[in-house]
């Protein structure tokens, strides 16, 4: 009988500990990163962006954990993002100050700018004060295409900085040498990208081929030119003939007028004067 009571007590204690661990796990702060950040699009979330070196973030850490413990009664999930290990998310959300808190619901993102104490955070959810805050515009929404591009640039800049630190610290390369390598790599990549773009444009919009006329005249062209020259000569001859003929006619007319003037006085009769009445 005593053994049965001991087994029953063990089951109760084990079940209570398991349930407590489950509830504590459900009410703990969820670490979000580049891989699981889309989980915040499924439910209502409050997400903090922080950095380990930030004094204000360290001051908010205890309050954020207490807020997460009461999140089950609020029906929300509480998460946090380390901007050092997830630079792409800081670029995706355009985080410019730390700590930064976002409220997320149904794919809408609103930045929380109230007091950073547990009561104010709970009131913000319980009284639905987030409805008074304008959501982030669509073109700046973290799940938009353009912000995905910005996120990629932030991750690229972080990788380049890590590479710079590795070359200067691990390999002992001077700072100017690292900058020189980056400059040469940038020029080469730009030239390669320009070449690729030119090839793509030639494939999409091929250039039009124009036929070049030969400067050496063909037989047909020679014959045509000779015919034109003959025609021009005929026209000039006709014009010369017409001009000479017209001059001859003028000369004949002037001679006939002269003859008439010389002959007319002899042929004309003098009139006798009339006698006065």
The answer for 50, left when phi > 0, alpha when psi is -120 to 50, beta otherwise, is beta
SS3 93: coil
Radius of gyration (C-alpha) of the chain in whole angstroms = 52
Q: Where are the alpha helices (DSSP H) in the chain?
A: 2-26, 55-69, 71-74, 87-92, 118-126, 145-165, 175-204, 219-267
Query: Is 57 an active-site residue?
Result: yes
92-106: buried (b, 16+ CB within 10 Å) or exposed (e) per residue? Answer: bbebeebbbbbbbbe
Considering the candidates 41, 51, 54, 105, report the single residue annotated as catalytic: 54
Considering the candidates 57, 68, 76, 147, report the single residue annotated as catalytic: 57
Query: Is 54 an active-site residue?
Result: yes
Distance, CA of 208 to CA of 119 (rounded, Å): 72
Bond into 94 cis (ω within 30): no
The residues assigned a catalytic role are: 54, 57
């Amino acid at each position: 009988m005593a053994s049965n009571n001991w087994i029953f007590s063990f089951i109760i204690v084990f079940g209570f500990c398991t349930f407590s661990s489950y509830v504590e796990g459900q009410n703990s702060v969820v670490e979000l990163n580049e891989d699981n950040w889309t989980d915040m699009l499924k439910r209502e979330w409050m997400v903090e962006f922080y950095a380990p070196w930030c004094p204000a973030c360290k001051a908010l850490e205890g309050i954020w954990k207490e807020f997460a413990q009461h999140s089950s009664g609020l029906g929300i999930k509480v998460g946090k993002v380390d901007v050092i290990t997830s630079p792409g998310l800081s670029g995706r959300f355009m985080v410019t100050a730390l700590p930064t808190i976002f409220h997320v619901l149904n794919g809408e993102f609103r930045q929380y700018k109230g007091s950073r104490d547990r009561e104010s955070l709970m009131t913000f959810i319980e009284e639905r004060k987030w409805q008074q805050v304008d959501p982030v515009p669509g073109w700046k929404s973290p799940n938009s295409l353009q912000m995905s591009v910005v996120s990629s640039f932030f991750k690229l800049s972080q990788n380049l900085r890590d590479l710079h630190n590795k070359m200067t610290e691990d390999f002992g390369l001077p700072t100017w040498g690292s900058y020189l390598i980056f400059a040469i790599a940038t020029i080469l990549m730009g030239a390669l990208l320009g070449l690729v773009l030119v090839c793509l444009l030639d494939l999409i919009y091929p250039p039009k081929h124009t036929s070049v006329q030969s400067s050496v005249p063909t037989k047909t062209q020679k014959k045509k030119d000779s015919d034109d020259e003959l025609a021009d000569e005929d026209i000039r001859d006709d014009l010369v003939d017409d001009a000479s003929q017209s001059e001859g006619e003028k000369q004949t007319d002037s001679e006939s007028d002269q003859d008439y003037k010389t002959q007319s006085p002899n042929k004309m009769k003098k009139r006798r004067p009339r006698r006065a009445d």
